[in-house]
Amino acid sequence: MKSFSLALAGLALVSASAMAEDCAAPDMPTIPDGGSSTYDQMIEGMGSVKTFQEANATYMGCLEPKLAAATEAAKADDASDVQKAAAMALNEAYNAAVAAEEELAGAFNTEIREFKAANPDS
């Protein structure tokens, strides 16, 4: 029974991946080191962060209707374990996108503070 449940969970992850196939998560940009970067490098880094945020919003917008549909299917009385696992996997993908954006914003804000500390006249 345990191996059957594991097989169903694996199938659900594959199903969720297939559902989100046309939704591509953006790559996290490399942010500059605020303590050693120039002003221009920090501005370029800010542009990379904004580009990521826009791409991530598009990605999350792509996931939202798939997540809503999968969540509704998983709530049905006759929902299979595969449907429930697919909804869970899509929810995890969405939450990971939110967390990535928060992590990037926090890291870049730290680098901005370091840049300002290293360049008080900027």
Q: Could you read off the pLDDT tens digit of each residue along the chain, which spans 122 residues?
A: 444 444 444 544 544 555 556 899 999 999 999 999 999 999 999 999 999 999 999 999 999 999 999 999 999 999 999 999 999 999 999 999 999 999 999 999 999 999 999 999 87
* DSSP symbol at 77: T
Q: Which two structure tokens, joined as six digits, stand for 105? A: 């914003």
Q: Measure the CA–CA gap between 83 and 87, rounded to whole angstroms.
A: 6
Q: What is the pTM of this model?
A: 0.79
Length of the chain in terms of residues written: 122
What pLDDT is recorded for position 81?
94
User: Measuring CA to CA, which residue among 20, 29, 36 is closest to residue 115?
Assistant: 36
91 near 22, Cβ under 8 Å? no
Vertex 103, ends 98 and 109: CA angle to 5°? 125
Distances in Å between the Cα of 120 and the Cα atoms of 16, 33, 42, 112 are 49, 16, 14, 11
